[in-house]
């Protein structure tokens, strides 16, 4: 009888300990709700060498550093900025780039494209570029970080270049969400910050 009573007490104690441990893990690792990646700040340190003011737009690939299947891709701009951005301008657009981003530990690979005339990229082309980036990430994810970043930047530049006729790719950059992305090229210099609200 005493053995059975002791086993019950140990069982209850073990069950309570397990519940307590599980509750502690749930609190320390909250579920990541999907949210929206936004471009929050754009600073034009120097406009590009193109005629007139700049019309920048940004293609952004965001990818989880822990899950190769968790990616997002989007385009932002130029919208009302067509031929409006000059050296020294600073904006806080808080514009949506991509939805479904669920972690602040994502890496960004982004490309700034300066629009000369009309927007070259159609919605279906942007979708195709995003699909290509996803497929490349499945391959590059398992490689050393420097190799992965190099391959992803090349994939974004090369895939996008296939669709451009008169837009100029200024530069690519990689950064963490909340950090600055720097674009220097075609005579221009920009810094951009992307965040998850």
**Predicted confidence (pLDDT) per residue in 105-159, tens digit:** 788 889 888 776 666 788 999 999 999 999 999 999 999 999 999 999 999 999 9
Query: What pLDDT shows up at residue 116?
Result: 66
Q: Which two tokens stand for residue 56?
A: 């920048």
Query: What pLDDT shows up at residue 106?
Result: 80
Nearest to 136 by CA among 162, 113, 109: 109
In the chain, what percentage of residues exceed pLDDT 70?
Answer: 80
Query: What pLDDT shows up at residue 87?
Result: 94
Residues 6 or more apart in contact with residue 147 via CB below 8 angstroms:
140
Q: Domain 35-195 adopts which CATH fold?
A: Immunoglobulin-like (2.60.40)
Query: What pLDDT shows up at residue 112?
Result: 87
The model's pTM is 0.77
Query: What pLDDT shows up at residue 19?
Result: 32
Q: Are 87 and 45 in contact (CB under 8 A)?
A: yes
Query: What pLDDT shows up at residue 34?
Result: 66
Count of CB atoms within 10 A of residue 162's CB?
Answer: 10
DSSP H/E element including 36: strand 35-46
Q: State which residues of the chain have pLDDT below 50.
A: 1, 3-31
């Amino acid at each position: 009888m005493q053995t059975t009573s002791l086993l019950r007490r140990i069982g209850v104690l073990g069950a309570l300990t397990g519940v307590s441990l599980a509750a502690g893990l749930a609190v320390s690792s909250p579920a990541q709700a999907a949210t929206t990646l936004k471009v929050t700040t754009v600073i034009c340190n120097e406009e590009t060498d193109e005629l007139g003011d700049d019309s920048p737009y940004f293609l952004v690939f965001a990818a989880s550093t822990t899950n190769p299947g968790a990616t997002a891709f989007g385009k932002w701009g130029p919208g009302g900025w067509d031929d409006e951005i000059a050296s020294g301008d600073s904006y806080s657009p808080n514009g949506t780039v991509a939805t479904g981003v669920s972690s602040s530990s994502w890496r960004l690979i982004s490309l700034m494209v300066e629009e000369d005339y009309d927007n070259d990229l159609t919605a279906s082309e942007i979708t195709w570029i995003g699909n290509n980036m996803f497929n490349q990430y499945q391959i590059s994810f398992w490689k050393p970080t420097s190799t992965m970043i190099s391959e992803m930047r090349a994939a974004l530049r090369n895939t996008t270049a296939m669709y451009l006729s008169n837009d100029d790719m200024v530069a690519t950059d990689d950064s963490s969400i909340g950090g600055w992305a720097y674009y220097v090229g075609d005579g221009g210099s920009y810094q951009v910050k992307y965040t998850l609200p």
